[in-house]
A and B are shown apart, each in its own frame.
Chain A
Amino acid sequence: MPDLLLDIKNLHVGFRIFEGNLQVLNGVRLDVGEGERVGLVGETGCGKTTTVKSILRVLPMPPARITGGEILYRGRDILKMGKRQMQALRRHELTAIFQDPLQSLNPVFTIGTQLRDIVGDSAIGQGKRLSRRVVEAKCIEALRQTGMPDAERIMTNYPIQLSGGMRQRVCIAEALSTNARLLLADEPTTNLDVTIQDQILRRLDELVDERDASVLMITHSMGVVRDLTQRLNIMYAGSIVEAGRTKDLLDNPQHPYTQGLMASVPKLTGEGISEGIPGRIPNYIEPPRGCRFHPRCAHRMDVCESESPPLFDVLEGHRAACYLYGRNT
């Protein structure tokens, strides 16, 4: 088994609001190995962004509280790290791309200024001071590698002058120029046109490959993870309900939720669209007891209403959190 870069163990996170206590993350178990590409798929409100923010420790802590679990990065618990250690981690090891590049890029600085900041800072962090010319060259090279046309001119542009696809390429350039080991990509192409999305994802694939970095790709699109990831986790209502090798999982989903999801995706083969999954995502203040999916599940049994199922082994390297596949001893 390759070394685990990131290992989230039984993470519980809650939010305190007017109506009560939102128990958002309910025992998330997830890992990413060295050089691996792992997907995290889930719909709105399942907790995927909360998970990313927990890893980066950017959750607003007054309403949010971490009520249990660990996030291990190379064996050390991120949740227990001090400010300095966390900063070093964010500088050298972790990097992230988010959904809306307009929010990630500072509108009042040129692309060049922002990129130079990051490239220069990253070098300083590694104990080197680079001359201006070298920094400039590195920036332009980083942009070119993302497939950006006319990189020199882009350096002088402001984010608002670029198209959505180009902005996202800038964000990718920023993210990968730090030589980080783990890239967290939170819906990086959701807002982009499909032909541009295709280009960018393929580029990202190549760049990550070259650097032998790891990726945790968070998205709601099954199609995106199919081409890009080796392993996949399906998330529902704050926990992982199915995990396995991507192609295996998508071709042969075991958990009723995943099956419902796969049936809902419109297919090019034209077999019509299923009615979706009945019911709604649960109320996080008073979540269902036991398996959080049971109110919507056609295969519900008595045991589902009392205890939350762990991930059972279904097939080789393929696990599902469902009592159809095992029982607690």
Chain B
Amino acid sequence: MSATPILTVENLVKHFPTKRGLVRAVDDISFQVGKRDTLGLVGESGSGKTTTAQCIVGIYPPTSGVISFEGSLIGVKFNRREKRLKQQIRIVFQDPGSSLNPKRTIKQILSVPLKVHGIGQPRDRLGIMSRLLEMVGLPPSEYLYKHPQSIGGGEKQMVAIARALATNPGFVVLDEPTSALDVSVQGKIINLLMRLGDELDLTYLFITHDLSLMRNVASRVAIMYLGKLCEIARTDEFFRSPKHPYTRMLLSSIPVVTEEEELLKPKKIVSQGEIPSPVDIPPGCSFHLRCPEALPICSEIDPEMQSLGEERVVRCHLYGDSPCNR
């Protein structure tokens, strides 16, 4: 850990009871995010990464488990959180199209966090909003009066970022901020985020399914599958030698553009099988039905998280202190 952890998640569980059964969206995960770190949370559909973010931000209260931020417990829904927390923890959503109210101007959109948290005197707010837009690279005179539908996806996300930073937060959750954007715009947004992170001392929880992006952005990576954490490691370690079979399958499936990258991918692990529904999670290790290295024990006992050295954990019977390895 680079510094003291700013966010700690312990044994977080979030279940949703539905008509079709209990959806175990997040099933006992634990991790920490250090101050000024960028933790990348990676997973496919049903992995629980978005639900985790939603619990941290307060959209849902956890079913059980502990979330603490700067020492205080925060595991409740947003309407029961204190105002200071709403100022400190902010989120940038995935879909810029629906995260900005289409019937309001950008000026109106940006004024909401300022008004709610009483930032600046009312007559100063125009200036504050202008500075926020300049910070993300959008000329205020042009953009303040526009509606979201008349600006492009990248620009919408920049407005969303400006809005998130309006309350001077310490921790920002980025939920797939560039997944809906073109690659030529993505670079601009990511660099903006990294620069602002440095300038404003921000800590990021960066959620994505794009491992290539993660490689260049995160200081630590955590992989989730069907509500559980598979592996957490520092980025360079992770890509140099991925341990968990799911991680290796994920890495070998990524479409890459250069020969060098092709060589970096783990030897071809043919992805097989569909991702099970979170209502119908296989017994034992949830990945065992698709795992090319499954052992008999995998269909019976769910593996524990094993520590493999400094800041490295894997949850798999192939490693560490697992009963089958003794």
Direct touching of A and B (C-beta under 8 Å): yes
Q: Is the CB of B187 within 8 A of A276?
A: yes
Q: Is B211 a contact of A193 with CB atoms below 8 Å? A: no
The interface-forming segment of A6-14, A56-64, A262-270, A306-314 is A262-270
A123 within 8 A of B: no
> B217, A273: Cβ atoms under 8 Å?
yes
Interface centre among A199, A266, A271 (most CB of B within 10 A): A266
Name the distance in Å between A222's Cβ and chain B's nearest Cβ: 5
| B186:A264 contact, CB within 8 angstroms | yes
Is A83 positioned at the interface, with any CB of B under 8 Å from its CB? no
A220 touches B255 (CB 8 A): no
Spot the interface stretch: A32-40, A68-76, A135-143, A161-169: A161-169
- Segment 181-205 of B: residues with Cβ below 8 Å from A: 182-188, 190-191
Supposing A194-B253, A251-B258, A266-B215 touch, asked if A164 and B45 sit within 8 A by C-beta, the answer is yes
Give A185-202 as 1s and 0s: 1 = Cβ < 8 Å from B's Cβ atoms.
000000001111111000
Known pairs A199-B272, A262-B257; A275 contacts B210 (CB<8 A): no
B254 in contact with A268 (CB, 8 Å): yes
B-chain residues with CB within 8 Å of residue A164 when the two chains form the complex: 45
Q: Does A274 contact B (CB under 8 A)?
A: yes
Whether B187 contacts A264 by the Cβ 8 Å rule is: yes
Question: Which of B184, B212, B215, B273: most chain A CB closer than 10 A?
Answer: B184
Give the number of chain B interface residues (Cβ < 8 Å): 44
Q: A163-B274, A196-B275, A267-B215 are in contact. Are A223 and B257 (CB under 8 A)?
A: yes
Asked whether A266 and B212 contact (CB < 8 A) given A197-B253, A260-B184, the answer is yes
- A71 CA to B236 CA in the complex, in Å? 50
Write 26 A-B pairs (CB below 8 A) sorted by A numbering.
A44-B153, A163-B45, A193-B44, A194-B250, A194-B254, A195-B44, A195-B249, A195-B250, A195-B275, A198-B253, A198-B271, A199-B271, A220-B183, A222-B257, A226-B257, A250-B258, A261-B183, A264-B183, A265-B212, A268-B212, A268-B215, A268-B261, A268-B265, A270-B216, A275-B187, A276-B183
- Considering residues B182, B254, B255, B275, which has the most beta carbons from chain A within 10 angstroms of its beta carbon? B255
B259-289 residues with Cβ-Cβ distance < 8 A to A are 259-261, 264-265, 271-275, 277
**The one of A220, A267, A272 that contacts B261, using a Cβ cutoff of 8 Å:** A267
B183 touches A265 (CB 8 A): yes
Interface string of A205-231 (1 = CB under 8 A from B): 000000000000000111110110000
Contacts of A193 in B (CB 8 A): 44-45, 209, 275
CA distance A271 to B152 in the complex (A): 28
The yes or no answer to A149 lying at the interface (CB within 8 A) is yes
Answer whether residue B239 sits at the interface, using C-beta atoms and an 8 A cutoff. yes
> Is B213 on the interface with A (CB-CB < 8 A)?
yes
Q: How far is the CB of A281 from chain B (nearest CB, A)?
A: 8
B184 touches A277 (CB 8 A): yes
Q: Tell yes or no: B256 within 8 A of A by CB.
A: yes
A280 within 8 A of B: yes
Inside 8 A of A280's CB, which chain B residues have their CB? 152
Whether B186 lies near A276 (C-beta < 8 A) is yes
Whether a CB of chain B sits under 8 angstroms from the CB of A100 is no
A261 vs B183: C-alpha distance when bound (angstroms): 7
Q: Are A276 and B184 neighbours in the complex by a CB distance under 8 Å?
A: yes
Highest count of chain B CB atoms <10 Å: which of A43, A226, A261, A269? A269
User: A269–B213 contact, CB under 8 A?
Assistant: no
B130 to chain A, nearest CB (A): 21
A100–B45 CA distance with the chains assembled, in angstroms: 16
Q: Are A196 and B212 in contact (CB under 8 A)?
A: no
Closest to A201 in B: B255
Nearest CB in chain B to that of A166: its residue: B274
Q: Decide: A227 near B255, CB < 8 A? Known: A149-B274, A271-B216, A273-B191.
A: yes
Which residues does chain B contribute within 8 Å of A267, judged by CB atoms? 212, 215-216, 256-258, 260-261
Provide the residues of chain B in CB contact with A274, threshold 8 Å.
187
Could you tell me which residues of chain A, from 271 to 302, have a CB within 8 Å of some CB in chain B? 271-277, 280-281
Q: Which residues of A contact B215 (CB under 8 A)?
A: 266-270
- C-alpha gap A149/B44 in the complex (Å): 20
B210 partner residues in chain A, CB cutoff 8 A: 266
Distance in angstroms between the alpha carbons of A199 and B255 in the assembled complex: 12
Question: What residues on B are CB-neighbors of A265 within 8 Å?
Answer: 183, 212, 257
Complexed CA–CA distance, A222 and B182 (Å) = 12
Query: 8 new A-B pairs (CB below 8 Å) besides A165-B274, A264-B187, A265-B212?
Result: A149-B273, A194-B44, A195-B249, A251-B258, A260-B184, A265-B183, A268-B265, A273-B216
Closest 7 CB pairs of A and B: A223-B255, A276-B187, A198-B253, A193-B44, A43-B182, A195-B271, A268-B261
Q: Of B183, B216, B253, B271, which is within 8 A of A43 by CB?
A: B183
Task: Please indicate the chain A residues that have their CB under 8 angstroms from the CB of B257 in the complex.
Answer: 222-223, 226, 250, 262, 265, 267
By a CB distance below 8 angstroms, the chain B residues around A272 are: 216
Residue of B with least CB distance to A222: B257
Q: With the chains together, A64 CA to B255 CA distance in Å?
A: 35
| B residues less than 8 Å from A224 (CB atoms) | 255
Do A273 and B190 have beta carbons less than 8 Å apart?
A: yes
- How far does the alpha carbon of A198 sit from the alpha carbon of B251 in the complex, in Å? 11
* A251 CB contacts on chain B under 8 angstroms: 258-259
In the bound complex, do residue B211 and residue A268 qualify as a contact, i.e. CB atoms below 8 Å apart? yes
